Structure 1
Amino acid sequence: MRLPALACIFAVLVLAACGSPADRRQTSTARLVPPNHVTVSHPVFADHDPHDWDGRRPTAYPVHGIDVSRWQGEIDWPRARAAGVSFAFIKATEGKEELDPSFEAHRRGAARAGIPHAAYHYYYFCASAEDQARWFIANVPRSMTSLPHVLDMEWNHRSPTCRKRPDGATVRADAARFLDILERHYGRRPVLYTTVDFWEQTGIGRLPRTEFWLRSVADHPRETYPGARWTFWQYTGTGSIPGIPGPVDINVFAGSQEAWQTWAR
C-alpha cells in the first residue's frame, strides 16, 4: 500500500526518531534499484587459485554472490554488481564485543548499489548465545535488508582467546537459542553457515527449521555433505571479482532466478 508523499515523509521521520541506535542508522541506506534484481545470470568469475571442478560446476547456478569483511578493503560496489554479484553477506559482529570496522561502509555501499545484502555473526564459543545475539542486535539495524541474516558457526583453531569445542548437543542448543532470538527480533530466521568438519562433528545439520549455507571448495556439496539440503554454497575463498581488491569468497544460491526472486522477498 502506497502512502501519499507527505505521509511517507512523516513516516520516515517517525521511524528515524525511534528504535535502537542500529535501527536509526539505517535511514541513509535506501536502495536505488529493486532489491531482488539479478544483474548477470550464470556469471563466470576468475579465481586466484582456480579449482578444476568435476561434476556439476558452480557456473551451472544462475545467482552468485559474495561474503565480505574488513579483509576485502574498500569495495567498488556498483562495479561488483555489474560483474554479476547478486547478493552479499557482510560481517557485522563476532562474539559479544567485536564489531567489524568495515561493516558500516560495506552495508552502505551494497545498499547504494542495489545489491540485496544481510549481516553475519561469527560465533564465539566462550560467550553465551544470548550475549552474542544481543550484541548483534545492538549493531545491525532491524530494517537493514530483506534477506535473512546469518549465523557463522565453525571451529576457530586460530583464536588466541578461545579454543573450546563443545559437544554436538551443546552446539545445537546454543545455535537454536541464537537463531530464535534473532528470528523474534528481525522477523525471519537466520541462515546458518558452516564447514565440513563442523557439520560432521556436531550434527548441526539436524537443527530444525534451519536453512544452511555450506562451504565446499573442492567438490559439490552433494559429495561433501551427503544428503544435506542447502540454500547457499560457498565454492571458493579465493575468487576474483571486478571492484574487489584481493581474494573474496564467492557463493551460489541453490535455485533458479525465479526461486531467488521469491526467496529474497
Structure 2
Amino acid sequence: MLLNSDIYQRIRLVSATVSKSVSAYDSFTFTLDPSHKLYAVIKPYKFFVKVTRPDQNKVLFEGRVLTYSDSMDTSGVIQKTAVCEGLEGFLHDSVQPWREFHDTTPKDFLQALINEHNKQVESFKQVRLGNVTVTNSTDNVYRFVDDTKDTYDNIQDKLVSRLGGELRVRNEAGNLYLDYMPKIGGTATQKIKLAKNLLSSSRNIDPTEVVTVLKPLGATQERQTNEENKTEVSSPRLTIASANGGNEYLRDEELIKEFGIRAKVQTWDDVNTADTLLQKGRAYLASQKAIKYEIQLTYVDLSYIKDGVAMFDCGDTVTVQNSLQGLEIDERIVSMSIDLLQVQNTTITLSNDPLSVNAYRNQSSQAYDAERDAFYNLIRDQKLSTADLEKALKSSNAQIKSLQQALQELENKFNGQTPQPQPAHIGKIIDISEWQGVIDWNSVVRDDVTLSIIRVQDGSSHQDLKYMENLQKCISAGGKYAVYAYFRGTSTSDAQQEARDFFERTQRVVANKQQPVFYAIDVESVEMGGNVSQMRAGIEAFMSQLNTLGVPDHKIVLYIANHLYSSFNLNTARAGAIWIPSYGQNDGSIVNSTKPTHPYDLWQYTSKGRVSGIIGNVDMNTEPSDKFKAYLN
C-alpha cells in the first residue's frame, strides 16, 4: 500500500520526517488527514512502513508504527500523527534468561543473545548476525546476562556501553541482519560548501571537561595502626610531591590563561613510584581531549537535483567549507533529520572525537581570522559614502517632520471623538503537568483561563505522561498555551540535548498547528552535577540550542526558584520574561501569599488553586508585567 504520492490526492501526507542517529535506531514520524485512504488502517505494532528513494535505490527507513495520536485544531482540522521505530525495535520484543559467559568472544556472546531472541519471536522478527567487527584486546568477554532486561537493552548494556561500537539492523532480500561495528558509514562523495549548497551553520563548543590543574594519585599507601598486624581502613595514596619539589599538583599555565583554574584528580592504581606517577600525570595533561563540539547544518542535498550524486547518510564523513566561519573540516554526520516533503528543511549534526587543546586553539584562530576578514570586506563593500549618508539623513528628517505635522492635524481633528482602547481582560494563568491527571479542557477554557503553561518533560529522561493529550485538547478547546521543561542538565552538552528533546517533543504534537506563546525553562534545583556555579552555563547552552532550533530569546521564559535566584546567577536579561514562585501560607489566596524578593514578570503565588475541569489543586499565577502581557495579546 502506498503511503504518499504526488499524483493521487487521497494518498498524500501532511508531513513526513525521518530521524537518524549513530547512537540510536532510526525513527519516522508522519502526519495524515482523514482524506487519506489509510487514515483508519494505521495501528501500533501491526502497521509496517518502508521509505525508499527509487532514484538512488536506497532505503531511508524501515520499521513499524509505535504510537499514534489524532487531534482537531480550533478550525476543525483533524489529523493523525504516527511515530515509527526502526527494525532494531524488534529486539525489544524478547527477553533473556540469566546466564554466565566466560572465555567467549564478543561476537559469540552476541550470537547467543540473538539465538535466544529468535526462539521467542515471529519468523519475520528473527535476526541473523551480519558484519560484527567490534572486539577488545583479548577478544574475550566475561559477562552475566541480565534477566530483568530485554534483548536490545542487554546488547546495549553488556556490549555497546563497555566496548563501544554502533548497531544496525538491515533487510537484505527478506532476511534481517544485525551489524555491530566500531563505526557504521563511509565517506560522502559530495561536499557542503558556502555559496553552493550550504544554507546555514552553527558551531557549539563545550570545554567544561578541560583540566588545567591535575593532582595525580597512585597506589594506596597502606599504614599500620598501633595494634599489631592491623591495617587502617583509610590510607593515603601515592602523590608526586617527592618528585615534584614538594608540590602535589601539575599546572598547565597556558591552559590556565585560556580557561582559568579547573582542577581534577586522576588515579593510577598500578603506579607505585612518584617518578612514574609524575610522567603519567604530565602525559595526561598534555594529551587530554576534553573539548566537546558539534556543528549543525542546513543544506541542499545535490542528489535531488543532479544525476549521479549520492545522498548523504548518517555516519558518513563529509567535507564542510565555510570561509565566513573559518570552517574547512572533514567531520562525521552523527545525526540527521530528513524532511521528506520539504527536503530543503533537512538538517544534519556533525561531530568528531573531542578536540585537543591545540586543535581547539587552531579552530578558534581560524574562526577569528574569518570573522575579521568578513568585517573588513563589509567595510570595503560599503557603497554609501559619508556625504551620501548625510544627504539621506536630511531627507529622512524632513519626511519625519512632515509626517509629524500630519499626525498632529489628525489628532487635533479627532481629539475627544475617538474612543481610547481599553486594556484587554486577563483571566487566570495556570501551569499543569501529569499530576493534574485527566483534564476537561473545555471546562478549563470556559472558567476564564487566559493561559495554560503545560509541562513537556522533566529532563530528557522523563517525558510528561499527559503532555501530548494536554497540548492536543487545549488547542482543540481553543485555549492559549505555552510549554515548559524542568531542567536536569548535567553538562552543557546534556543541556543542549534536553533543549532538543523539549523542542522536538513539542513539535511532534503541534507542528503545523497553533504554536506555544513561549518555551519556559523550569530552574528550581541545583543540577550540572551539583555544581551551582555551572548553572548559568547550563541554562545559556539550553537557550542557545533553542535559538538554533528557531526559538528566539524573547520567546524563552525562565522560571527561577526564589530562594536560589542569587546563587544560580542566571542571565535574566537575555530571557523574554522571568517567572518566580513564592507562596507564603499557600492557601490558594493572593492576600495570604508572599511576593518574590526578586524582579519578576509573572508571580506563581500558590500550588493550591482551583479551576473548573481540573480535579484537585493547580498552580496559579498573577501580576503579569507589561512584557509578559505581550504573550497574551
TM more than 0.5 = yes
Corresponding residue for residue 263 of structure 1: 631
Corresponding residue for residue 532 of structure 2: 167
Distance of aligned partners of 1:235 and 1:199 in 2 relative to their CA distance in 1, 3 Å threshold: same
Corresponding residue for residue 208 of structure 1: 573
2:462 aligns with one of 98, 101, 115: 98
Deviation at 1:253, TM superposition (A): 5.5
AA of the residue aligned to 1:99: Q
Q: Distance in 2 between matches of 1:232 and 1:99?
A: 25
AA of the residue aligned to 1:110: C
Corresponding residue for residue 472 of structure 2: 108
TM alignment of 1:247-262, pairs within 5 A = 247-252=617-622, 254-255=624-625, 260=629, 262=630
Corresponding residue for residue 16 of structure 2: 17
SS at 2:619's partner residue?
A: strand
AA of the residue aligned to 2:522: D
Corresponding residue for residue 123 of structure 1: 487
Q: Distance in 2 between matches of 1:63 and 1:124?
A: 31
AA of the residue aligned to 2:444: A
Q: Would the aligned equivalents of 1:63 and 1:252 in 2 still touch at CA under 8 Å?
A: no
Corresponding residue for residue 73 of structure 2: 30
SS at 1:28's partner residue?
A: strand
Deviation at 1:18, TM superposition (A): 4.8
Corresponding residue for residue 504 of structure 2: 138
Q: Would the aligned equivalents of 1:64 and 1:253 in 2 still touch at CA under 8 Å?
A: no
Deviation at 1:224, TM superposition (A): 1.9
- % identical equivalent positions: 23
Corresponding residue for residue 87 of structure 1: 451
Corresponding residue for residue 153 of structure 1: 523
Q: Which has the higher helix share?
A: 1
* Pairing 1:217–2:580 present: no
Corresponding residue for residue 604 of structure 2: 234
Q: Distance in 1 between matches of 2:29 and 2:535?
A: 28
SS at 1:224's partner residue?
A: coil
Q: Distance in 1 between matches of 2:519 and 2:69?
A: 15
* Pairing 1:195–2:561 present: yes
Distance of aligned partners of 1:133 and 1:88 in 2 relative to their CA distance in 1, 3 Å threshold: same
Q: Would the aligned equivalents of 1:146 and 1:264 in 2 still touch at CA under 8 Å?
A: no
Q: Deviations over 1:98-123 (max 9, x none)?
A: 10110111111110111111221111
Q: Would the aligned equivalents of 2:444 and 2:613 in 1 still touch at CA under 8 Å?
A: yes
Q: Would the aligned equivalents of 1:123 and 1:153 in 2 still touch at CA under 8 Å?
A: yes
2:613 aligns with one of 233, 243, 248: 243
Q: Distance in 2 between matches of 1:215 and 1:70?
A: 19
Structure with the bigger RCO (C-alpha within 8 Å, sep 6+) is: 1
Q: Deviations over 1:110-157 (max 9, x none)?
A: 10111111221111143521121122133110555240111101117x
Q: Distance in 2 between matches of 1:186 and 1:22?
A: 20
> Gapped runs of 5+ residues in structure 2?
1-8, 20-27, 32-67, 77-423, 585-592
Q: Would the aligned equivalents of 1:194 and 1:213 in 2 still touch at CA under 8 Å?
A: yes
Q: Deviations over 1:228-263 (max 9, x none)?
A: 1x322211111111110010001135146x973x43
Distance of aligned partners of 1:234 and 1:23 in 2 relative to their CA distance in 1, 3 Å threshold: farther
Q: Distance in 2 between matches of 1:163 and 1:209?
A: 20
Equivalenced residue count is: 215
Distance of aligned partners of 1:154 and 1:251 in 2 relative to their CA distance in 1, 3 Å threshold: same
Deviation at 1:95, TM superposition (A): 1.6
> Gapped runs of 5+ residues in structure 1?
1-9, 34-39, 42-61, 157-161
Give the stretch that moved more between structures: 17-26 or 212-221: 17-26
Distance of aligned partners of 1:194 and 1:84 in 2 relative to their CA distance in 1, 3 Å threshold: same
Distance of aligned partners of 1:238 and 1:172 in 2 relative to their CA distance in 1, 3 Å threshold: same
Distance of aligned partners of 1:215 and 1:19 in 2 relative to their CA distance in 1, 3 Å threshold: farther
SS at 2:621's partner residue?
A: strand
Deviation at 1:173, TM superposition (A): 1.2
Q: Distance in 2 between matches of 1:69 and 1:167?
A: 26
Distance of aligned partners of 1:22 and 1:97 in 2 relative to their CA distance in 1, 3 Å threshold: farther
SS at 1:89's partner residue?
A: strand
SS at 1:246's partner residue?
A: coil
Q: Which has the higher strand share?
A: 2
Normalised by the size of structure 2, how large is the TM-score?
A: 0.31
Q: Distance in 2 between matches of 1:113 and 1:177?
A: 35
Q: Deviations over 1:62-92 (max 9, x none)?
A: 3421111111011111111111111111111
Q: Would the aligned equivalents of 1:32 and 1:113 in 2 still touch at CA under 8 Å?
A: no
Deviation at 1:215, TM superposition (A): 0.7
SS at 2:535's partner residue?
A: helix
Q: Distance in 1 between matches of 2:442 and 2:623?
A: 20
Q: Distance in 2 between matches of 1:153 and 1:259?
A: 18
Q: Deviations over 1:163-192 (max 9, x none)?
A: 943223x11111011012113314333111
Corresponding residue for residue 418 of structure 2: none
Larger CA Rg, structure 1 vs 2: 2
Distance of aligned partners of 1:254 and 1:69 in 2 relative to their CA distance in 1, 3 Å threshold: same
Q: Distance in 2 between matches of 1:177 and 1:163?
A: 12
Q: Distance in 2 between matches of 1:193 and 1:111?
A: 23
